[in-house]
Amino acid sequence: MPTSLPGGAGLGDGEAPEHGWGELNPLATSTREMGPGTCRDTLDYHFGNYNWRKIVRLSDSLLKKMVTATSDVAEHIIAHQELESTISLEKLQTCTEAMLAWELNPSSPNPYEIAIKTPTQAAVRRQLAAEEEQALTVGVDIALLDEVLPSSLIARGIDLKGKQHSLKMLTNSLWEHSQDRQITRVTLRSNVLTQKLEEWFSLLQLYIPASILLRKREPQWKESPKLFDVQLWLPSHIGKLVPFDRSLAKIEYKLCNAQAHKALGVLRCNLQICATLYDVKDHWLWGQGANTRALNAIATVQAHIAAARDEYQ
């Protein structure tokens, strides 16, 4: 949370102590040739000179800020009034009381914090397990296999879909000069995925027998080198092609809804990080080394954004 939000705090950018450091950059080529004592004395002299100039010019700086605040106060008041006109009186009163209560007592709920409750995959899986347990207590056995219940089956399929996407990203990162360890890692991932696909289809045909017919219409997936393109035939993929138990589709919807909320949260967070990195790069970095590191950091965040986007889709 910004430090300017608490009551009595002035508006700032949070970087005031760093504003004076830029004036010492020209000393780098001189101080690196000095001994420890001379280097410290030189920095002390320049810091002292900067502080003296800041104190002497404090009156001019405050006057400039007061003139700017006086000329802009009308515009800010009008903008605030326009914002209040779009909010109902009940919500406006509730928000005002919450902000005043938090300013007087910081232990009160913080109205500036975003508190949105979204379903999580863990909570949804727990709910589905509880529903299956309740069904078993009343004598309704919906499991065709003791080790795998319907919710476990769909959850396994969604996890397997995520593993396919991870393998796809890892495969796309290879090129003609990739090292042997990178190729080996992709090969091992492919072998593990092949075993998991065999297990998945053997379980799927128990709950959706018509999936065998759907697979026969496709080319043999074992002969395809792209295991990440193999259709898993989840209920959302089947649709109305063949009949199956619609309760499986409801389970998949609940799990995918929680997965989508998680992906949106990750996407929102990484977009904010990416915007901050671009701002820092454009305003505060120069030189080949610093810009290269910044671009590498941005590329990493963009990869997370792409992964969250694909997971949401």
Which structural domain, as residue segments, surrounds residue 142? 121-312
Let me know if residue 145 belongs to a domain: yes
Please indicate, yes or no, whether residues 91 and 134 belong to a single structural domain of this protein: no
Please indicate, yes or no, whether residues 47 and 183 belong to a single structural domain of this protein: no
Please indicate, yes or no, whether residues 96 and 193 belong to a single structural domain of this protein: no
Let me know if residue 201 belongs to a domain: yes
Cα distances (Å, whole numbers) of residue 135 to 118, 122, 132, 239, 240: 26, 20, 5, 26, 27
Please indicate, yes or no, whether residues 40 and 141 belong to a single structural domain of this protein: no
Q: Tell me how many domains the chain contains.
A: 2
Let me know if residue 189 belongs to a domain: yes
Tens-digit pLDDT string for the chain (313 aa):
556 666 666 666 556 666 677 778 888 888 888 898 999 999 899 889 988 998 999 999 889 988 988 888 888 899 989 989 998 999 999 988 988 888 888 888 888 777 777 888 888 888 888 888 888 787 776 667 667 888 888 889 999 988 888 888 888 888 888 888 888 888 898 889 889 988 989 888 888 888 888 888 776 544 555 788 888 888 888 888 888 888 888 988 999 999 999 899 899 999 999 999 998 888 888 888 888 888 999 999 998 998 888 888 7
Please indicate, yes or no, whether residues 86 and 184 belong to a single structural domain of this protein: no
Let me know if residue 12 belongs to a domain: no
Please name which of 173, 178, 123, 185 lies closest in space to residue 151, comparing C-alpha atoms. 123
How many other β-carbons are positioned within 10 Å of the β-carbon of residue 311? 17
Let me know if residue 114 belongs to a domain: no
Please indicate, yes or no, whether residues 212 and 135 belong to a single structural domain of this protein: yes
Please indicate, yes or no, whether residues 98 and 126 belong to a single structural domain of this protein: no
